[in-house]
Amino acid sequence: MPMASASRWRSDYPATPTPSPRGRGRGRGRGQQQSRESPSTPSRSSEASAMPFRASSRPPVTPQSSPSRRMDLMASVSRSGGIEKDGDDLKDENVQEEYRVYIQGKLDAFWSKYVGRSEESDEQARQRVEAQENLLILFRKLREGIIASKRVNAFSDEVYASSLYLSILFDSPRNTSAIVPVVLSYLRSRIPPQSQSQSQSLALICLLERLVTAYPSQSDFHTSLTGIPTPCFPPECAERRWVRDLARYLGTGNYTRLERTLRRIPALEDPDSLAGKATRHLVAALQSKARESAWRTIRSAYREVTLEISGGWLLRSLFLVPPVREDEGLDARMEGLGLDDMLERWLEGESRKGNVVKKEEGTGKWGLSRPR
């Protein structure tokens, strides 16, 4: 599974959460009116950038120092309804920022434990998926607090973006399908958007998710595209033109133009950011779906292929060529990447499914079976 590297929160946030001064009376609601400090406004930066906040002079609240409000037992706003003890804490902006730092600690631990594994047992895979789901639950609780507090600023931008990107990278359709409508609605509340690049990344990823999830239907895609405000996703931006081309070529079955378009992802400010990784993850998913359709068409039209003659064409037609830069040709990309071997291995996998038959050894000829 492709993993994303941790975001820049750790370097920009203090190592320990620091809340603002808060007074309480003996009964709920009878204490002093809490004093809130607005988070410092960050400079416009790339997607999922960190937002530093102003620390208060009070000692930090941690799960060890404050048993009454342990971060790992923080009540969900939607489930507590204000009845549970501290059930409304996540409506407080300072607590939201403390909780985001707490989540980042969990996320950093996840990356260090699971990223880079070449192999994993069934039990290790189960533990990884469970850890991923727990992280998404923490982000959901934080989003609920943000929605309840009607917070709309750079901090909420980052939380919505990270929630969306991680749900995609973690291959969690249930969480992704739940957050995409929320993000699209949130974009409508950000007029004008604080960060043009981040709003375009969010819109692009939501639209790609619509194309992948509902494939081959595009009704959700067009409905979502129409609902995104023009300032967030202007007609002249490269991302909008690119994703509209994808939808058009998918709808018409123009696999040649589709393959060429999918290989040339719009340049992102930081390709290694969560946004960049989530975009590539969705592109790979869309390539996989288009490959199935194209493969059926090829097997219906041809009885045999010879790799020496048709290898490059077959690689492109089956969406097996990785994305390339605009100034990099396909031939240059194929050299050194072993794409010929990749195609051979892919056909061997199809042979085990009964879709192709390898002919004389060393000839590079494969017989194709008609789809049933």
Q: Per-residue pLDDT tens for 76-103? A: 886 655 555 556 889 999 999 999 999 9
Tokens of 294: 């194209």
Edge-to-edge strand list for the sheet holding 304-306:
304-306, 365-368, 356-358
pLDDT in the model for residue 3: 46
Beta-bridge partners for 306: 365
pLDDT in the model for residue 104: 96
pLDDT in the model for residue 158: 94
Question: What are the domain boundaries of the chain?
Answer: 9-114+121-301, 302-372
Tokens of 184: 């699209």
Give the type of residue at 149: S
d(CA 275, CA 29): 41
Average pLDDT value for residue range 241-252:
96
pLDDT in the model for residue 65: 47
The position carrying tokens 């002079």 is 57
Q: What separation in angstroms does the CA of 306 have from each of 42, 310, 330, 355?
A: 57, 6, 19, 16
Q: Provide CATH code, domain 9-114+121-301.
A: 1.25.40
**Whole-prediction pTM:** 0.76
CB-CB neighbours of 30 under 10 Å = 8
pLDDT in the model for residue 86: 59
Where is pLDDT greater, at 139 or 71?
139
Given pLDDT bands bounded at 50, 70 and 90, which one contains residue 36?
A: very low
CB-CB neighbours of 195 under 10 Å = 21
Checking if the pLDDT of 229 tops 70, the result is: yes
Checking if the pLDDT of 228 tops 50, the result is: yes
